[in-house]
Chains A and B, each alone.
Chain A
Amino acid sequence: MAERRPSGINSRRPSVIPYLAGIEKPVLPSIPSQCDVLICGTGLVESILAAALAWQGSRVLHVDANPYYGDTCATLTIEQIKAWCASVNDGSSGFQGFSKAMLHIPYPHRLNSRDYGIDLSPRVLFAKSDLLSLLINSRVYRYLEFQSLSNFHTFENDTFGKMLSTKEEIFTDQSMTLASKRQLMKMMKFVLEYDLPENKEELETHMHEPFTDYVSNRFHLSSQQINELCYALGLAPKPDISTIQGLSRVRRYLVSFNIYGNFPTLYSKYGGPGEISQGFCRSAAVAGATYKLDCALKSFDPDTKTATFEDGSKVKISEKVVCSPSQAPEGSRNVPERNYEITRLITIVEKSCKEWFAEGESAALVVFPPKSLPSNNQFPVQSIIMGSGTGCCPKDQCVWYLSTIEQGERGRRDLESALKKMEESILRESEDGGFDVELTESDVAVQANGGISVINSVKLGKSFKGFVPKEKLTYLLKLMFTQYTSVAPFGVVSNAVFEKAEENDHPGNGPDLKVIYSSMPSTEISYDGVVTEARLLYSKIVGSDDDFFDVDFEDDEDYEHGPSSESAIVDDAEEFQPEMAFEL
């Protein structure tokens, strides 16, 4: 460690800058009169598309009706959230695709607006996923900061458990019999190998039967284990998934493990999709795209190929107009149907919630499988927990993002029910002073390399029954709303969505004739599907996706990151665990 030395050169005078009075905003230059592609809305899909097109050589004009980036997946401050809710509820154009925004801020003076970054559609990033590869290939990752997320909790029988997902954990767990360990391992092996030729027949026979039936018949797993596989590891948004869906979901988790370290997922600091959108927009700008916020599309005339904006300015477009449904012009007629709903409940609580995070981390996932809540939920409730270390809220606070694809009143009830369980859980765990209190030596497994890694998960998730909290949890903000999307749960974006407007060829058909619409953020809690949609839109415009981000970054001086450490984990290099041999 470097010794600390007194040093004159570092005595820094913080520059306190007095307020500058009387400086007029400079007059803006007018927007370019021509472009190849106009994109309206700076959500993640649109931003990836803008960057891909700009690097391919198209002249892109990318606008957003709002004064901030991110559109449907923006990361907002408290003041922006307030304005957003008002706009959603009065049906302002620019906010379509959302409804029933309910906001409650009990102690307004306790929230300093700019200390918060609240995601409209939070997501987690699997370490092995197409978005992650794209972040690297496009160099966009350089603009962002990523942190690991290890803990996937499942709520079951009134308790929180942490899924045993690594081989070490399974081997060293004391609550499982040897036979059941072996079955679980066998199952995981099959997950990784189901597409090998020797498993073809097995897979084809069972592919379409319910995943739960298949794993319980074939591997004799307990219903709790099955729930964990399905809803925690697999993050399935609905019950009754097929075997192939289940297998691919669990595989997504397993193959992401140990890519960067012993965790399956990551998230971008300071905000999820909202930050990543900004990264891609910057990349697009670097490649020559023009950006203008606060600029709403009023109409597009396909005959003259002219788009008109609300401020009266016009631009001629040689190729296509792509628009997020949220920013469709007033009076539009061709916005694709959005038949699927996501209900979201976002809260800021006055608790660090560190009890839920893995050592050194600041975020976790909690899932409530179907029928696990007093509301008798038909669909799972998924929640992302973001502590202050994520840069999204101040110290000793935490943001909880709950969501479900259950519709309407039922969806809202399920979310409230899940929220109550989370409240009970965090109060109990924090009153106990965290996990350490009840652990005896037999709950802690010592690994071969001397590291202590596993603690008894059942004990940790001790039932809430009979627990009466001494204190109440303070909610600083509660926001509930419904979002609509064209993407079916588990579905992949379909080209038909983009084609709809194009087919509509009769005249007098609104201000959005021939506008290609994107499909709004999907119900998926990971980033899966985002790159696929951007690629589809790209092919639609360019003709094929062969050169999608096929960029040779010349300026690419070897990007060394200061004094290098062996591990990907910049701040904590020693954490790394050797992989255990995969053997049955």
Chain B
Amino acid sequence: MSSSLGSEHRFAQFKLVLLGESAVGKSSIVQRFVKDSFSDFRESTIGAAFLTQTVDLDANTTVKFEIWDTAGQERYRSLASIYYRNAQAALVVYDITQESSLDKAKYWIKELQKQARGGIIIALVGNKTDLEQERKVSSEEAESFAKGLGLLYFEVSAKSGTGVRECFKQIALKMPIEDSLRKRRERKSRTVDLNKRPSTNEQQCAC
């Protein structure tokens, strides 16, 4: 391991997927979290769909999220099974100014129950709190729904940034870090990283 800190540094990576109605701000939340920026005129997601960002939980623990945005495939309910595969966390986003977006969020939660692995951490996220005066969904309603299902619940604003980091940090705290470290140590089958070609035929024996 590269880290030379006193004690062993713990590093674990988890896949996080986003779900929710179009225009609720899924990509904006990711953009805020990964690049700490916001644009008022975002097009529907095309372009970036695979971003990573780390969260330091403490001096010795880093959690890296591999973030999958829907890329529009959810629009006609045509998400591929690879989207859900091995997802360890999901952000189901609604827009606090659009009542119907909470219904869509409920639909996606149901879909996650069917498609994703058991034990996935799901967070229900109300976005656009900067538009408080236009609020249509009360915090109490959404929160009690989330709590009833044992989901995490957050309200954020991708525009102002309020709540976004905290939301990812709370999710990171729920990630099964020890599990993941142990699996990596124990894993028998060899996964090959296609981006690494060690053998330009002068591979040194590292023994």
Contacts and interface: CB of A to CB of B under 8 A. Distances in A.
Interface in A537-575: 554-555, 557, 559, 561-564, 566-575
B76 A4 contact: no
Given A7-B178, A571-B188, 10 more contacts: A16-B118, A132-B194, A143-B82, A259-B199, A260-B194, A261-B199, A281-B80, A389-B189, A562-B64, A568-B198
Interface string B174-194: 111111011011011111111
A282 B71 contact: yes
B37 to A, nearest CB: 13
Interface residues of B, number: 77
A261 B194 contact: no
A324 interface: no
Contacts of B151: 15, 17
Interface string B47-64: 111111000010001001
Interface string B83-96: 10100000000000
Given A15-B122, A23-B106, A285-B71, A361 B194 contact: no
28 contacts: A2-B181, A9-B173, A13-B150, A14-B119, A15-B122, A20-B106, A20-B110, A20-B149, A28-B76, A29-B76, A68-B81, A141-B195, A260-B196, A266-B194, A269-B191, A281-B80, A282-B73, A285-B49, A285-B73, A292-B76, A295-B76, A360-B189, A555-B50, A555-B51, A562-B64, A563-B2, A576-B198, A579-B203
B104 interface: yes
Smallest CB-CB A-B distances: 3 pairs? A389-B189, A285-B71, A278-B80
Contacts of A23: 103, 106-107, 110
A270 interface: yes
Given A20-B110, A287-B46, A562-B13, A12 B174 contact: yes
Interface of A: 1-4, 7, 9-10, 12-20, 23-26, 28-29, 31, 68-69, 132, 135-136, 139, 141-148, 258-261, 266, 269-270, 275, 278-279, 281-282, 285-288, 290-293, 295, 360-362, 389-390, 449, 554-555, 557, 559, 561-564, 566-579
A141 B195 CA distance: 8
A19 B113 contact: yes
A15 B121 contact: yes
A269 B71 CA distance: 23
A563 B196 contact: no
Given A13-B150, A141-B195, A563-B2, A26 B103 contact: yes
B78 A293 contact: yes
Given A20-B109, A567-B198, A570-B192, A578 B122 contact: no
Interface of B: 1-3, 7-8, 10-11, 13, 21, 45-52, 57, 61, 64, 71-73, 75-78, 80-83, 85, 103-104, 106-107, 109-110, 113, 118-122, 149-151, 173-179, 181-182, 184-185, 187-199, 201, 203-207
Most buried by B among A13, A17, A136, A278: A17
Given A28-B77, A287-B46, A291-B78, A258 B194 contact: no
A449 B192 CA distance: 24
B190 A571 contact: yes
A270 B198 contact: no
Contacts of B207: 449, 574
B104 A26 contact: yes
Given A286-B46, A579-B203, A69 B192 contact: no
A2 B190 CA distance: 21
Given A14-B119, A17-B122, A571 B80 contact: no
